[in-house]
Amino acid sequence: MKNLHVVSSVDPATGGPVEGIRQISAVVLGQGHQVEVASLDDPSAEFLKDFPLPIHALGPGILDYAYSPKFLRWLRENHMRFDAVIVNGIWQYSSYAVWRALRHTDTPYFVYTHGMLDPWFNQTYPLKKIKKMLYWPWGMYGVLRDAKAVLFTTEEEKLLARQSFSPYKVNEVVVKYGTPGPSGDLQAMKASFLEKFPQLKDRRFLLYLSRIHEKKGCDLLIEAFAKIANDDNGLILVMAGPDKTNMAPALKERAAQLKIDDRIMWPGMLTGSNKWGAFASAEAFVLPSHQENFGIVVAEALACRTPVLISNKVNIWREVLAGEGGLVDDDTQVGTDRTLSKWESLSAQEREAFRDRARTCYETHFGIDAAAESLLAAVRKYGGVD
C-alpha cells in the first residue's frame, strides 16, 4: 500500500498531528508499505531538513488559510500514484484542495479532524465561528461529506464534532491513536537532561510540555502552582514549549506578581532525547487544557512512567482515569487547583504507585502499533484498498 499524508505544515512546533504522522508512518514503513507527505510549507524551511519521510513542500501558503495554487496542480498530477490520501486537519486550503482534486477520481481520501470540530473553538472564538459558518456549506461540509471516512481518535471527539456545524453528514470512524514511546536508554536520556539542566537535579518538579497557548490552560496552571508552592519550597514548575502566540510574557509577569517566578523554568521547546529525559525526570506531567482531541504528549508521559494531571477536556481522560494513570478534574481554576492540591497531598509511596500504573495505562490504550494497524484497517475497509 502507498499512502499520501496531506498536512498544512510539518513544522514540529505545530503540535501533535505532525508527530502522529511521523510515528504512525514509521510503523507502516516497517510493514513494507510506502508513505509520502505533501504540505504547504515553504520548500526552503529549515525544519524540512530533519523530516524523516519523503516530503513535497508545495508552499509557501498565503495567509492563515495557506492557499497555494501549485498544491492543487500537484495533487491532480500525482494522486494516481497513491492508494489513498489521508488529510490531517481541516479549515485550511490543504483539505479543500484534496476535495477539489479527488472528488471525481478513483483515489479515496480520508480526513483526520484532529479535534478541529470541537465546539470549544466556537464558544471561545465567536468571530472565527462566523467565518467558519460562511465557509462550511460550500467548502468544509463537502470535504467531510465526500471523504471515504472521517477519522476520530476517541469516541468523545466524534460526539463533540456533531455539535459544531450543520448540515453534518459524514461517515464517522473511530480509530486508535498513540505513540511508540521513547526509543533507546530512557535512564541515559534522563541523566543527559539533568546534566543540561542541573538546577533540576534532586528536585521535585512538575512538567508542562506543549505549546504555550490559551487553549492549554497555561494561566490556570500558573495560578494553581502558586497555591501549592509554599507547601514545598523545593518544588519547581517547568513550562516547556514553543510560544508562537507570545503568551509567555504575560504568564511570566503574573508569576512575578505571585512571587513564584524563581520557581518556574522556561526552557523553550524540548525535542528528542531532551523531551524524553524531561518526561522521565518529572514527578508528574500537567496539562489543564480546555480542548485536546487526543493529547499525544499525555500518552508520551505515560510511556515514561510519568503520572498525568489533566483536565476532562483532554479526550483520553476516561482511559487515564480507568487505568489510574493520573488525576483528572475540570478545566477551571477550581479544578486545576484541586488537581495540584490532591497530588501534593499524596505520600511518596502513593505517587510511586501512580508511576507503575501510568506505564500499564499506556501499554493498554496507547501503543503505536495498534494505532498504525487501525488506520490501515480503515483505509482497507472504507477505501477498498487491498
Give Cβ neighbours of residue 226 (< 8 Å, ≥ 6 apart).
Answer: 255, 258, 259, 260
CA distance 155 to 82: 29
Is 306 in the same domain as 327? yes
- pLDDT for 232 equals 82
Is 297 in the same domain as 340? yes
- pLDDT for 14 equals 78
Is 372 in the same domain as 361? no
b/e map 248-286, b = 16+ CB within 10 Å = beebeebbeebebeebbebbebbeebbbbbbbbbbbbbb
Q: What is the pLDDT of residues 121-143, one digit of tens each?
A: 999 999 999 999 999 999 999 99
Nearest to 240 by CA among 218, 273, 215: 218
Is 325 in the same domain as 339? yes
Question: Is residue 343 packed enough to be buried (19+ CB in 10 Å), middle (13-18) or exposed (0-12)?
Answer: buried
The CATH number given to whatever domain includes residue 55 is 3.40.50.2000
| Residue 386 identity (one-letter amino acid) | D
Is 216 in the same domain as 236? yes
- pLDDT for 367 equals 87
Q: Which residues pair with 150 in a beta bridge?
A: 111, 172
CA distance 134 to 125: 15
Is 157 in the same domain as 200? no
State the residue range of the domain holding 55: 2-179+368-383
Is 14 in the same domain as 115? yes
- pLDDT for 13 equals 81
Q: What is the mean pLDDT of the chain?
A: 94
- The per-residue pLDDT string of the chain (386 residues; one tens digit each, 9 = 90 and over) reads 999 999 999 998 876 788 889 989 999 999 999 999 999 999 999 999 999 999 999 999 888 889 999 999 999 999 999 999 999 999 999 999 999 999 999 999 999 999 899 999 999 999 999 999 999 999 999 999 999 999 999 888 999 999 999 999 999 999 988 888 898 899 999 999 999 999 999 999 999 999 999 999 999 999 999 999 988 888 999 999 999 899 999 999 999 999 999 999 999 999 999 999 999 999 999 999 999 988 889 999 999 999 999 999 999 999 999 999 999 999 999 999 999 999 999 999 999 999 999 999 999 889 889 899 999 999 999 998 87
Is 161 in the same domain as 190? no
Is 215 in the same domain as 357? yes
Cis ω for the linkage preceding 60 (within 30 of 0) = yes
End-to-end CA separation in angstroms for the chain:
7
- pLDDT for 234 equals 87
Is 113 in the same domain as 208? no
One-letter-per-residue 3-state SS of the chain: CEEEEEECCCCHHHCHHHHHHHHHHHHHHHCCCEEEEEECCCCCCHHHHHCCCCEEECCCCECCCCECHHHHHHHHHHHHHCCEEEEECCCCHHHHHHHHHHCCCCCCEEEECCCCCCHHHHHHCHHHHHHHHHHHHHHHHHHHHCCCEEEECCHHHHHHHCCCCCCCCCCEEECCCCECCCCCCHHHHHHHHHHHCHHHCCCCEEEEECCCCHHHCHHHHHHHHHHHHHHCCCCEEEEECCCCCCCHHHHHHHHHHCCCHHHEEEEECCCHHHHHHHHHHCCEEEECCCCECCCHHHHHHHHCCCCEEEECCECCHHHHHHCCCEEEECCCHHHHHHHHHHHHHCCHHHHHHHHHHHHHHHHHHCEHHHHHHHHHHHHHHHHCCC
Is 169 in the same domain as 132? yes
What is the number of domains present in the chain?
2
Is 118 in the same domain as 227? no
